Amino acid sequence: MSQSTGIIRDDLYKEHLADYPHPESPQRLEAIYDMLDSDDIGKRLLLISPRSATHDELAWIHSRSYIERVALTDGVSHMSLDPDTQTTPLSYKAAILAAGGLFSLIDKIFDGTVRNGFALVRPPGHHAERDRAMGFCLFNNVALAAMYAHHKYSIKRTLIVDWDLHHGNATQHSFYTDPKVLYFSTHQYPYYPGSGGLTEVGHGDGTGYTVNVPLSAGQGDSEFFAVFKQILCPIASAFKPELVLVSAGFDTYAGDPLGSMKVTPQGFAALTRVLMDIAGEYASDRLAMTLEGGYNLTGLRDSVRAVLKELMQESILTDSDLQTLESGTAPPIVDKVIQVQRSYWAAL
Ligand SMILES: [Zn+2]
């Protein structure tokens, strides 16, 4: 088993919305890539070349008519697919390389080249519905990755953890009736996109395989840590995922212009450690993260660095950081989530 951590990066990801004013800007990846080039951790990460997702692969999650609609933006100077979601000439190519980049990372995890990794891609994905672009997202990268692992590696239980500030409406919808994928989301609520209420738990065979933790504004490291420890860990130990995927958004960072949470780089590192423990216990360490939101460039850079350090087992966390995290109190919503989810998860 390899001990290394892989990253997906490519300059094409910076071409989406190049020279177009938007909070989901190329400068986000520039801040991360510049950090990797100037920091010695960049040299110790394995750079994996991304490939593009095919239309047949995109059709696991999206309708053919929607895929065609996005493909038609290729080379077009500017299109608006949704009030928040625009394209520029290379957006379509960047979007299929974002989804496919996650497939390339998963291949390297399954062939043992790396033990885990982070797809540093854009556009993000978790709001992209079957039939429409939404919330800065074109194709649902993380949902497509779960389908890829299922089709290529016969994975029957994938855990998707979504710690972005916003609820991943489209990831939830993609697997709402599907027990192969357990979707766990922490998000500010009520807030954009409006979904992610406590009682949205899945439907039919998927009942209990959607776990929403709707949080009030102002939660920080210890509250998120308590949510992960008290809700996610018991459920994951019962579900026993064969693969852990993460919609890693950094708009919960303290100081993000879009959100009102208070998570710090240490907090993201601690959440990563919890996920690595779950992946180590049940999934042979298989853990793949993909970038979603995060709009404070300094916060994004420092938080991604902390997460990468954790993935590389070079943690920035001190014993006193961990003591502070462990001694925090859980937000009141934790009891309410447990009451709802206890019907499906006896371990709670
Ligand atoms: Zn977000």
Amino acid at 112: G
152 in a structural domain: yes
273 in a structural domain: yes
pLDDT digits 0-9 by tens, 19-57? 999 999 999 999 999 999 999 999 999 999 999 999 999
User: How far apart are alpha carbons 10 and 70 in whole angstroms?
Assistant: 20
Q: Which two tokens stand for residue 238?
A: 């019962």
pLDDT digits 0-9 by tens, 120-132? 999 999 999 999 9
* Cα–ligand 1 centroid distance for 12 (angstroms): 22
* Cα–ligand 1 centroid distance for 330 (angstroms): 22
Which candidate in 16, 62, 126, 127 is catalytic? 127
User: How far apart are alpha carbons 239 and 175 in whole angstroms?
Assistant: 15
> What pLDDT is recorded for position 64?
98
**Cα separation values, 106 from 72, 176, 184, 186, 236, Å:** 28, 23, 20, 24, 20
Amino acid at 264: T
Asked if 82 and 120 count as a contact pair (C-beta separation under 8 A), the reply is: no
- Verify whether residue 16 is a known catalytic residue: no
Per DSSP, the three-state class of 138 is coil
pTM attached to this predicted model: 0.98
> What pLDDT is recorded for position 1?
46
> What pLDDT is recorded for position 2?
61
Which of 131, 129, 149, 132 lies closest to 140 in space, CA to CA? 129
The upper half-sphere exposure of residue 21, i.e. CA atoms within 13 Å in the direction of its Cβ, equals 0
Per DSSP, the three-state class of 213 is strand
299 in a structural domain: yes
DSSP 8-state class, residue 137:
B
Start-end of H helices in the chain: 26-38, 41-44, 55-58, 64-71, 91-110, 141-153, 169-174, 221-227, 233-239, 265-282, 297-311, 319-326, 333-341
Tally of domains in the chain: 1
Q: State the residue range of the domain holding 185.
A: 5-341
180 in a structural domain: yes
* Cα–ligand 1 centroid distance for 22 (angstroms): 14
Residues of the chain scoring pLDDT < 70: 1-2
* Cα–ligand 1 centroid distance for 166 (angstroms): 4
* Cα–ligand 1 centroid distance for 181 (angstroms): 21
Q: What contacts 250, CB < 8 A, 6 or more positions away?
A: 256, 268, 293, 294, 296, 299, 300, 303, 304
Quick one: which H or E segment has residue 80? strand 79-82
pLDDT digits 0-9 by tens, 81-92? 999 999 999 999
Sign of the torsion angle spanned by Cα atoms 277, 104, 60, 194: positive
What CATH number does the domain containing 324 carry?
Answer: 3.40.800.20
* Cα–ligand 1 centroid distance for 255 (angstroms): 14
347 in a structural domain: no
Amino acid at 4: S
* Cα–ligand 1 centroid distance for 86 (angstroms): 16
Which of 167, 138, 164 lies closest to 62 in space, CA to CA? 138
* Cα–ligand 1 centroid distance for 302 (angstroms): 17
Torsion angles phi and psi, residue 120, rounded to 5: -90, 75
DSSP 8-state class, residue 188:
E
346 in a structural domain: no
The radius of gyration computed from the CA coordinates of the chain, to the nearest angstrom, equals 18
